[in-house]
């Protein structure tokens, strides 16, 4: 399991010996942990390779090579600052984050957060319809 954050004011009880000392709710910080607890399934890279090989009738080696190549092409394109648009599926893009003021959570001290770029994915209309189900 991942790292957890203790949130005061809930029902889980922690104790040393027989005396309860803290009552807190445990909330996973890692999204995968949280989703596993909620019963959400994930497809990992190996499962994606298996599914692609089955769907295309190719070998797992070829499927793995194709997925690696796709990831490399998308990564290289985003590094250049360009977008990858797959009509109906979605767009991989780079979003710019402006510099801003923040706070160190440990000390409360004001800090300057530098401007940065972050990769993002915006789902296309066909993907949204497929996920949400077609309206009838």
Condensed to tens digits (0 to 9), the pLDDT of residues 66-75 reads 999 999 999 9
pLDDT tens digit string along 96-107? 999 999 999 999
Q: What is the distance between the alpha carbons of residues 96 and 36, in angstroms, rounded to a whole number?
A: 31
Q: Say whether 14 sits in a helix, a strand or coil.
A: strand
Helix (H) or strand (E) holding 113: strand 110-113
What is the pLDDT averaged over residues 13-33? 46
pLDDT at 19 > cutoff 50:
no
């Amino acid at each position: 399991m991942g790292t957890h954050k203790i949130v005061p004011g809930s029902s889980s009880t922690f104790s040393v010996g027989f005396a309860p000392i803290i009552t807190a709710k445990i909330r996973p910080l890692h999204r995968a942990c949280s989703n596993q607890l909620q019963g959400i399934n994930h497809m990992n890279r190996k499962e994606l390779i298996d599914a692609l090989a089955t769907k295309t009738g190719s070998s797992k080696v070829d499927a793995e090579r194709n997925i690696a190549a796709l990831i490399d092409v998308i990564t290289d394109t985003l590094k250049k600052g360009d977008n990858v648009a797959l009509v109906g599926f979605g767009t991989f893009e780079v979003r710019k984050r402006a510099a801003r003021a923040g706070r160190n959570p440990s000390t409360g001290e004001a800090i300057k957060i530098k401007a940065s770029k972050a990769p993002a994915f915006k789902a296309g209309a066909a993907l949204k319809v497929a996920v949400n189900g077609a309206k009838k």
